Amino acid sequence: MAFDFTKPRFLLCEGDDDKWFLEALVANRPGLPEFQICHAAECNAQRQGGRSGFRLSLDGGIRLFSGFAQLKAILVVSDNDTAASFRDVQTELQVAGHTPPLTTNALGSVFGKPVAVFMVPDPNMCGDLETLSLPAIHQKWPKAKICVPLFLRCTGALKYLGGANWPKRSSISKARARAAAVGFNQDDPYKGIGRLFQNGTLSVQHTCFDGMASFLRDFDAFCGI
């Protein structure tokens, strides 16, 4: 699936919620450079999203897409929701024929373009966008800090009376964020977390996003471009 590269920096993320959040962050935080932001399913013919879509989105065909020659650097953004998440990203890049970064503090290469990887919420914390956003959610809806865990215990998502949590951490994170929106976002309880950042219901100005904003602000220097 061909598309045009329209900006000097290309950011590839897992899904649409990530894309809408990142677009809001770049647009509303001062001093951040421009990125063309796409989620994986937008960039491959199989419409494969998530980490498993990275190899398909960065295959050899992208060299032929309009604007690739002018592209300066690539950033891959992935959830750090399992102990193997960063290794999975490395594998995706390697299988696609590229040189992955050895660590999150290093650069790899995609057809001669520097590629960096940013893990959400950060390389040392297991989680995802919903984990990173939890302080902003609680600032917007303070009662969610008490009410949502009680609800999730009743449903069995969280441990209750000696029971077990849902085994998939990312499912718990998504349930926590969605439960807060459904219970407290009276204007439109159907919106997912990405749309809540897109329409300004949740603020990208919260300090919980400072680390990511700082990385994006320093991206050119990090890549040496």
Compute the average pLDDT of residues 88-98.
Answer: 96
Domain 9-125+207-223, CATH number (from 2.20.25, 3.40.50, 1.10.150, 2.60.120)? 3.40.50
3-state secondary structure 93-124: HHHCCCECCCCCCCCEEECCEEEEEEEECECC
Q: Higher confidence at residue 38 or residue 63?
A: 38
pLDDT band at 34 (very low <50, low <70, confident <90, very high): very high
**pLDDT tens by residue, 186-222:** 888 888 999 999 999 999 999 999 999 999 999 999 9
pLDDT at 61: 84
Judge whether residue 162 has pLDDT over 70.
no
Compute the average pLDDT of residues 24-37.
Answer: 97
Judge whether residue 161 has pLDDT over 90.
no
The answer to whether the CB of 180 falls within 8 A of the CB of 137 is: yes
Spatial distance between the Cα atoms of 48 and 46, rounded to a whole number of angstroms: 5
**pLDDT tens by residue, 94-143:** 999 999 999 999 999 999 999 999 999 999 999 999 999 999 999 999 99
Question: What are residue 11's phi and psi, to 5 degrees?
Answer: -115, 120
Spatial distance between the Cα atoms of 74 and 11, rounded to a whole number of angstroms: 6
pLDDT at 160: 72
For residue 74, list its beta bridge partners.
Answer: 10, 115
Spatial distance between the Cα atoms of 69 and 139, rounded to a whole number of angstroms: 43
Q: What's the whole-model pTM score?
A: 0.94
Domain residue extents for the chain: 9-125+207-223, 129-198
pLDDT band at 63 (very low <50, low <70, confident <90, very high): confident
Judge whether residue 50 has pLDDT over 80.
yes
Spatial distance between the Cα atoms of 204 and 210, rounded to a whole number of angstroms: 9
